[in-house]
Structure 1
Amino acid sequence: MTGRYFFRGDEGYEHARTRTVWNARTPERYPEVIVQAADADDVVDAIGYARQRGLTVGVRSGGHSWAGNHVRDGGMLLDVKGLDHCAIDTGARTAVVGPGMGGSVLAELLAEQDLFFPAGHCKGVCIGGYLLQGGYGWNSRVLGPACESVLGLDVVTADGERRYIDAEHHADLYWAARGSGPGFFAVVTAFHLKLHARPAVCGSSLFVYPLEAAEDIYPWARSISAAVDRRVELQIVASRSVPGAGLDTPGIVMASPVFADTEQEAIDALAVLETCPARSKALVAVPYAPTDLQTWYAGVMTNYPTGYRYGVDNMWTSAPAEDLMPGIRRILSTMPPHPAHFLWLNWGPSPQRQGMAYSLEDEIYLALYGVWEDPADDEKYGDWARSNMAAMQHLQTGIQLADENLGQRPAAFATPEAMDTLDRVRARYDPAGLFHSWMGRV
């Protein structure tokens, strides 16, 4: 092999293993060898080595998989974080970007040239895993999940061959790459991206309500699902304190980015938030303020501090509010201290999507993020997210892979038809099972 590599027992192995997982709750799983690729040649060599020795391969780009899906017992962990190149064609509005490029870094580079891409909401998330699983990012309610803006990919397949795939070249593998997430059966060395014009206005509203207003807020949010302008991301985050707003009491934060052509359009799009029946109870009320992505990233990361331990789970649903509220009450009454939080996102109804493995979404997205710092609290907080989602799973239509917990709670993330197609395409390109499938699925 070329590149840097560490066999289990080598000096530096454990550091190489733990650095592949952003979650400080690193799984107790141990690959036989970890390869840190610096370029596509290293990837080809690593795949050849794994194939010759019968090693099953897991791939990591940014390591933000909460479950550490790429870290498995035995086999090879192929780390492609070093493939972070980026070439932007401003005239064509396209870019060729390595899987190790941070989404927030890419967003900043594009902003300098008045361009935009629906990168992920959290700093540090690299585009590799983000784009493979779908990609719910900034302005994605308008632009679609980011995988819809993937024009093609450079990949290394299980036979060690380099291939360019798109709608006309290996179209079935291209179909699979957009939405199969950690179960994708090739290694991406570059994404060819469609870029968009930078929105003229980036704004936000901010309302903070006491936790007691939940009985008004969530039924109202469910009732306006279809009425929320797609330029608005209605994010409702409940936690035990709201440090970003200077509040050390439990609260429900309604923080809503908006992307528009004019400030008046942005203000008009956000106006629906003033109809909340708890409006008079707001502890903080900012109906509209101009902002930028860097400010948004800073605000988001107050809920996702580095070096903490995470237990995460999620669900899509179209259930009515009266069916959801018992579970929501349970979530709020058992929620660990901040930065643990409960996210409600008004997502749909969504437009018709392109043909791709990404095939399951719904009107409302619910996600739980257990977050704590002390390993001694693992038993106390580690199952909060899973157990609460399990109690509501009779209301779910599926999950999204960004916040998957498939190893602990298997659930559908694609339609049955899409899963059947994925299995057929996998059998063609990876007949010997060189690449790991999803956890929770044999």
Structure 2
Amino acid sequence: MKRRNDKGVVLAKGAAGFDAALLGTSFNAQDPGRRPDLIVQANDVDDVIAAVRRANDEGLAIGICSGGHSWAQNHIRDGGMMLDLSRLNSIAVDAASGTAVIGPGCLSGDLNAALVRHKLFFPVAHAYTVGMGGFLLQGGFGWNSRANGLACQNVIGIDVVLADGTLVHASADENPELLWAARGAGPGFFGVVVRFHLQLRPRPKFIGMKLQVFRIRHLEAVMTWADRVGPDVLPSVEFQMVFNRRAAGIFAHGIEVLAPVLADSWREARDAVAFIADSPIRSKASLTLPLLPMSLGLMMNTGEKTLFLPNTRWTADSMWMNEPIEPLLPALRAIADSQPAAPSHALWLNWNAPASRPDMAFSLEARTYLALYGGLRGAAANPADESWATDHMRALQAHSVGVQLADENLGRRPAPFMAPANLARLDALRAQYDPQGRFNPYMGRVA
């Protein structure tokens, strides 16, 4: 049954269109095999309140979807209610105060486009179609986050529907423990955020990209060099290596050395990425492009259309590491040699976590970040390709300090994602605000 009433659009399991509506919420084309009892497509805050109250009345657990970019499809669970927030996608920018209020279903690319008109900036997600709700809750590793902080650090308030159906505001001065939890709890948050209040920044005057491409046979040389120069790379540069079998879209198996840079001038940006043009391995490169000015919107769309193709069955996994590169080189070589066809790829990100962050639930990061994205297309699939990401992360687990919730696979490989003290505090808050366990917990975790 599908109906529109004062509680949003409600679809019951088994109704015509139920599976299409459910799987249509997920960027990942993989069918996880899980089915909730109900889907509620909320159109406004009142719909959300009504849905949560219905879940209470009927004893239903709630899974939440804002943009559907969870690789693990966290919002799709067996039984209970799946609450679709994608239609709560409003954007209100107050240029005078440098703030914005957005709905959880607002897309990253749409927020960026709205801010361009005001010459303002927010560290949105790297892909255009990522919903801001889930992105902000898991921490938000956005554009220029090394310089501007995680996206969640720039959340100054939330409006949240609690487990009992009440709507409250949280900020540094009002219900601060809820804001603390919303900054990093990810899919373990115990409420429905219906509005995020954001602190904006002046827009960088120059945005661009530096690119080099190497054949995969140079992996050890490239990664050794990257590890050596990484600690000195300026925060304005997102220095990263991407391995795939269609490097830059035109080469065979290779490594893309990418350096997006957001700076106050072309000269500042040029100086910030000079370490690539002057590197001792530059003669090995198959392609070197000059620093190219590019809009953020273009970079978002290009990355999504080349690396994250639609109609792809994805399995992703990730880890944070502090170790030097030498003991990791054999594992990186094994990852590359066993890599499935594009769009599967591996990301090595130079992060260099700061010495301190504001007090918030997010609390686990490290020197470097490794993420594997196994993307399969077509009906047939090699079992080794299907498990490529998680198998290699499991093999590297001894070198890891934990995972990032943006690219987690906790249901298949539980791993730390938060400092123990922060996780204990989050558990206590969950017990206080959601004593009946109305909102689904993490799909997997370790103590």
* TM class by smaller structure: over 0.9
1:187-218, Cα deviation, whole Å (9 max, x unpaired):
01000000110100012101001111111111
Residue 216 (str. 1) matches residue 225 (str. 2): no
Counterpart of 2:245?
240
Counterpart of 1:296?
299
Residue 394 (str. 1) matches residue 398 (str. 2): yes
Counterpart of 2:13?
8
Superposition RMSD on alpha carbons, in Å?
A: 1.2
Residue 265 (str. 1) matches residue 275 (str. 2): no
Q: Which among 137, 142, 149 is matched to residue 142 of structure 2?
A: 137
Deviates more, 1:345-354 or 1:428-437: 345-354
The alignment partner of 1:377 has SS state of coil
Q: How far did 1:379 drift? A: 2.5
1:263-282, Cα deviation, whole Å (9 max, x unpaired):
11000000122343321011
- Map 1:80-95 onto structure 2 (within 5 A): 80-95=85-100
Contact 2:161 2:192 in 1 (8 A): yes
Residue 276 (str. 1) matches residue 279 (str. 2): yes
Q: How far did 1:376 drift? A: 2.0
Contact 1:226 1:349 in 2 (8 A): no
Counterpart of 1:347?
351
Residue 360 (str. 1) matches residue 360 (str. 2): no
Read off the aligned partner of 2:286 and give its amino acid letter. Answer: L
Q: Give the Cα–Cα distance (whole angstroms) in 1 for the partners of residues 191 and 270 of structure 2.
A: 44
1:29-62, Cα deviation, whole Å (9 max, x unpaired):
0000010000000000000000111100010000
The alignment partner of 2:439 has SS state of coil
Counterpart of 1:57?
62
Moved over 6 A (4+): none
1:101-122, Cα deviation, whole Å (9 max, x unpaired):
0001100110111011100001
Q: Give the Cα–Cα distance (whole angstroms) in 2 for the partners of residues 182 and 276 of structure 1.
A: 41
Q: Give the Cα–Cα distance (whole angstroms) in 2 for the partners of residues 303 and 276 of structure 1.
A: 26
TM-score of the two chains, using structure 2 as the length reference: 0.97
Q: How far did 1:241 drift? A: 1.3
Q: How far did 1:351 drift? A: 4.3
Q: Give the Cα–Cα distance (whole angstroms) in 2 for the partners of residues 378 and 129 of structure 1.
A: 31
Read off the aligned partner of 1:268 and give its amino acid letter. Answer: D
TM-score of the two chains, using structure 1 as the length reference: 0.98
Deviates more, 1:418-427 or 1:272-281: 272-281
Q: Give the Cα–Cα distance (whole angstroms) in 1 for the partners of residues 204 and 398 of structure 2.
A: 39
Q: Give the Cα–Cα distance (whole angstroms) in 2 for the partners of residues 424 and 440 of structure 1.
A: 18
The alignment partner of 1:5 has SS state of strand
Q: Give the Cα–Cα distance (whole angstroms) in 2 for the partners of residues 303 and 101 of structure 1.
A: 22
Q: Which among 357, 365, 372 is matched to residue 376 of structure 2?
A: 372
The alignment partner of 2:389 has SS state of helix
Q: How many pairs were matched up? A: 440
**Same amino acid, percent of matched pairs:** 44
Q: Give the Cα–Cα distance (whole angstroms) in 1 for the partners of residues 379 and 320 of structure 2.
A: 30
Deviates more, 1:62-71 or 1:378-387: 378-387
Residue 285 (str. 1) matches residue 300 (str. 2): no
Structure 2: give runs of 5+ residues left out of the alignment: 1-5
Counterpart of 1:73?
78
The alignment partner of 1:23 has SS state of coil
Q: Give the Cα–Cα distance (whole angstroms) in 2 for the partners of residues 168 and 31 of structure 1.
A: 37
Q: Give the Cα–Cα distance (whole angstroms) in 1 for the partners of residues 100 and 336 of structure 2.
A: 43
Q: Which among 318, 330, 338 is matched to residue 334 of structure 1?
A: 338
1:318-366, Cα deviation, whole Å (9 max, x unpaired):
1111111121011011001111111000011424211100001001000
Structure 1: give runs of 5+ residues left out of the alignment: none
The alignment partner of 2:273 has SS state of helix
Deviates more, 1:322-331 or 1:347-356: 347-356
Read off the aligned partner of 2:79 and give its amino acid letter. Answer: G
Q: How far did 1:441 drift? A: 3.8
Q: How far did 1:243 drift? A: 4.8
Counterpart of 2:3?
none
Deviates more, 1:368-377 or 1:34-43: 368-377
Read off the aligned partner of 2:69 and give its amino acid letter. Answer: H
Q: How far did 1:380 drift? A: 4.1
Read off the aligned partner of 1:222 and give its amino acid letter. Answer: D
- Cα 1:319/1:111, change in 2 over 3 Å: same
Counterpart of 1:255?
258
The alignment partner of 2:381 has SS state of helix
Residue 418 (str. 1) matches residue 422 (str. 2): yes
Residue 189 (str. 1) matches residue 194 (str. 2): yes
Q: Give the Cα–Cα distance (whole angstroms) in 1 for the partners of residues 280 and 315 of structure 2.
A: 32
Contact 1:94 1:195 in 2 (8 A): yes
- Cα 1:351/1:441, change in 2 over 3 Å: closer
